[in-house]
Amino acid sequence: MNEKDIRELVEAVQKGTVSCERAIERLKNLPFEDLGFAKIDHHRALRQGYPEVIFARGKAPAQVAGIVRGMLRAKSSHNILITRADAKVYAAVRRLAREAKFHELSGAITIRRGKKNTGKGLILVVTAGTSDIPVAEEALVTAEMLGNRAEAIYDIGVAGLHRLLAHREKLLAARVIICAAGMEGALPSVVAGLVSVPVIAVPTSTGYGASFSGLAALLAMLNSCASNISVVNIDNGFGAACVASCINHL
């Protein structure tokens, strides 16, 4: 439940269209609902502006479905997002919500309950290479589910800078840029040097042996000489999008 949902519920009780008993039934599981294996944080949207997101990796399909069932039962208007899922999890979720969509590259599952964009501008997601797209898709989907207008540009890494410069107009139009890169992780520094907006760098685990599964890119991004860069964890497209959304909603 978010502030709008609670306000509408209180107003409905005041008007007499919802009984006190029904309102109490809806509110009794707040601020969280204990399922035994998980505690659903129904108040997170009220505190942080966006709801709890389900991290599916390490959870059984039935556990993810149980959490989704609890979120659907809360009758909230916010979108439901599941990250790092697979086809088995999707099958379990879709039995509960036919509108659920599986984004296979990133493993994200989305249940859209509202499509209104509440962010101030464009969140642009760019990648150095095609191999970085799964992480970028997680960022793109997350940004959209959090109420932002988001677009993506793929495969514009430093090995061919003319590809990046061809999209300079779009870079300059963005309010926040998420930049995913593996290998040596150079692209965020170049992008940040072209724009005056925050650039959120996402190191990816793409690369050969000495890239150390993204550690080389992470260290390169942390040591960037561009002052408008912040860095999230390796392959953390979700986290990058959450920060970008916070900025875009200021």
Residues 66 and 97 in one domain: yes
Domain end point (choices 58, 85, 111): 111
pLDDT category, 229, cuts 50, 70, 90? Answer: very high
Would residue 178 count as lying in a domain? yes
Domain end point (choices 70, 87, 111): 111
Structure confidence at residue 30 (pLDDT): 66
- Rounded CA gap, 36 and 8, in Å? 30
List the domain range (segments joined by +) for residue 171: 122-248
pLDDT above 60 for 1: no
Match 């061919």 to its residue by tokens.
160
Structure confidence at residue 14 (pLDDT): 86
In single-letter form, the type of residue at position 246 comes to C
Pull the structure tokens for residue 200.
Answer: 């959120």
Residues 233 and 128 in one domain: yes
Nearest CA among 190, 197, 203, 189 for reference residue 232: 203
Would residue 17 count as lying in a domain? no
pLDDT category, 146, cuts 50, 70, 90? Answer: very high
pTM: 0.84
Those residues whose C-beta lies under 8 Å from the C-beta of residue 30, and which sit 6 or more positions away, are 1, 42, 43
Distances in Å between the Cα of 83 and the Cα atoms of 52, 64, 106, 205, 237 are 11, 11, 8, 17, 10
Count up the domains in the chain and report the number. 2
Can you give 13-56 as a three-state secondary structure string? Answer: HHHCCCCHHHHHHHHCCCCEEECCCCEEECCHHHHHCCCCCEEC
Residues 136 and 209 in one domain: yes
Nearest CA among 177, 173, 188 for reference residue 143: 177
Structure confidence at residue 34 (pLDDT): 65
Residues 106 and 179 in one domain: no
Would residue 168 count as lying in a domain? yes
Structure confidence at residue 17 (pLDDT): 87
Structure confidence at residue 55 (pLDDT): 94
Residues 138 and 193 in one domain: yes
Distances in Å between the Cα of 140 and the Cα atoms of 105, 180, 202 are 12, 11, 13
